[in-house]
Amino acid sequence: MNIKFFGATREVTGSCYLVQVNNKNILLECGMLQGSHENVRHNHDAFPFDVTELDAVIVSHAHLDHTGRLPMLMKEGFHGAIYTHNATVDLCEIMLVDSGYIHEKEARWENKKRERKGSTLVEPLYTTAEAETTLQYFKGLAYDEELEICQGVKLTLRDAGHIIGSAIVELTLTENGVSKKVVFSGDLGHKNAPILRDPFEVKYADLVIMESTYGDRLHRSWQDTWQEMGEIIANAKSGKGNILIPAFTVGRTQELLYEFKQHFDEWQLDDWQIFLDSPMGIKATNVYAKHSEIYDKKAVEVNQQNDGLFDLPNLHMSETTEYSMKINQINSGAIIIAGSGMCTGGRIKHHLKHNIWRENAHVLIVGFQARGTLGRSLVDGCKNIKLWGEEIQVNAKVHTIGGFSAHADQQGLLDWYQCFENKPPVVLVHGEEDAMEILAQKLKYQHKVNVVQASYKQNIVIPL
């Protein structure tokens, strides 16, 4: 029994791990690399293993850094089952198809330039049609449902509390009469986050593969987060400016809408026009509304009492390009939620172009910003940004609200590991080097356990 690590090793995107047991090959995650141009370029690389020898694929949740290269598996010859939670199946129907559309669009744009130069044309990473074909291989499961996915491999998904349908993956692996339990954290949610339940507490494992995104820091408390949000909205109102919120279309967008409803009177939101300027965000919100069976207790009560979590009297759903362009004509009184969450693409870039040079505008950063992204540059205090070749001065106030993360912070990660009664060895993944190193030292000091910081192509034998 062994696990090979092919992604999200000392970085936070491109999750990909190969579990080998009983002559079976199970791929755990198939994520896209995101962030810098160099990272994105590697998405076109061939997989570092024989795709045709895979027996099954498991994905923990729908974010593209965990699912975004699945259509490439199909292109290279995999035609087996892809196991995940039912809500993740619904989200992937949106996200993978949208990803295929973006890859086609980017290839067309690039080929126009190449045709003029007489250069060789490029192919999209995958197409919309290829993404749609991939969806036919998804097999949805409920939480806590054990399933033998192939000989010697039993799968159970537990609630990770990160986004709707996100899962902790429990694998019971059997070889030569010996069974071992491997627990993969997936992306662990932030305790007491809106809508979703807290991450499931697992009591036993022989090996834990654990994310470390925020292994080096603590989040602000939820109370302080809401207070800061209210203060920013009040200040923006007095300054007669707009508020731009680059938000991940799955998870963060729904949390924002939910909290806007909870604080509608307190934050005097009836004085604003609120725009969800994201076709995919609108579809994802519908998926959240569909899966009320996995809400936390408070969200269940809100849903029953108010006939929905996200209905606001001044919320405008912007699906068309024409509608989005009209929003750019508003100089004051608009709260605009748009993707992408790291400002690397999508409609938020257009809203930045029309607002970020204004001194009375505000930009709320409410999620992780990977190195090399425009969002990270704004967080780091850049004075100018470049959009479509035009340099634009940053005069808007940029606020980073760290408490709004969908990932557990350092204490949350340590608390989750604390629940393992036998204190199993840990392999850290899905974290930048500094965060991973600090979390490793904390785990070693507090629990006296063996901690490995996974590196690319590292092979780890499951302890017998």
Distances (CA, A) of 221 to 14, 253, 283: 29, 19, 30
**Domain locations in the chain as residue ranges:** 2-217+406-461, 222-404
CA distances from 43 to 33, 332, 417 (A): 6, 40, 32
**How many other CB atoms sit within 10 Å of the CB of residue 56?**
21
Rounded Cα–Cα distance for residues 116 and 260 (Å): 49
Q: Is the pLDDT of residue 463 over 80?
A: no
> Residue 13 and residue 431: Cα distance in Å, rounded?
9
Taking only the tens place, the pLDDT of each residue in 53-76 is 999 999 999 999 999 999 999 999
Which tokens in the block code for residue 306?
């108010």
Q: State residue 412 phi and psi, 5-degree precision.
A: -65, -40
State residue 104's pLDDT score.
96
Q: Which pLDDT does position 374 carry in this prediction?
A: 94
Neighbours of 286 (CB within 10 A): 12
Q: Check whether 85 has a pLDDT greater than 80.
A: yes
40: confidence class by pLDDT, cuts 50, 70, 90: confident
Residues 302-361 have pLDDT tens digits of 998 877 899 899 999 999 999 999 999 999 999 999 989 989 888 999 999 999 999 999
Q: Which of 258, 266, 259, 275 is nearest to 310 (CA)?
A: 258
pLDDT value, residue 94: 95
Q: What is the pLDDT of residues 157-175, one digit of tens each?
A: 999 999 999 999 999 999 9
Question: Percentage of the chain surpassing pLDDT 90?
Answer: 90
Q: Do 28 and 73 contact (CB within 8 A), yes or no?
A: no
Same fold, 2-217+406-461 and 222-404: no
Smallest CA-to-CA distance from 24 within 175, 145, 139 is with: 175
- Cβ–Cβ under 8 Å, residues 288 and 276: no
Q: Calculate mean pLDDT across residues 260-267.
A: 94
pLDDT at 39: 83
- Hey, CA dihedral for 168, 14, 97, 49, is it positive or negative? negative
pLDDT band at 140 (very low <50, low <70, confident <90, very high): very high
Does domain 222-404 fall under CATH 3.40.50.1820? My reply is: no
For residue 37, what pLDDT is reported? 78
Q: The whole model's pTM is what?
A: 0.91
What is the rounded CA–CA span in Å between residue 410 and residue 212?
8
The listed CATH number (3.30.1330.20, 3.60.15.10, 3.40.50.2300, 3.40.50.10880) that belongs to domain 2-217+406-461: 3.60.15.10
pLDDT band at 371 (very low <50, low <70, confident <90, very high): confident
Instruction: Provide the 10 A C-beta neighbour count for residue 311.
Output: 11
Contact between 134 and 70 (Cβ < 8 Å): yes
Q: Tell me what the mean pLDDT of segment 117-124 comes to.
A: 94
- pLDDT above 80: residue 464: no
Tell me the C-alpha distance between 456 and 17, whole Å: 10
pLDDT value of position 405 = 82
pLDDT at 202 (0 to 100): 98
Identify which has the larger pLDDT, 370 or 385: 385
pLDDT (tens digit per residue) in 433-459: 999 999 999 999 999 999 999 999 999
pLDDT of residue 181: 98
Lowest-confidence range among 262-266, 305-309, 411-415, 421-425?
305-309
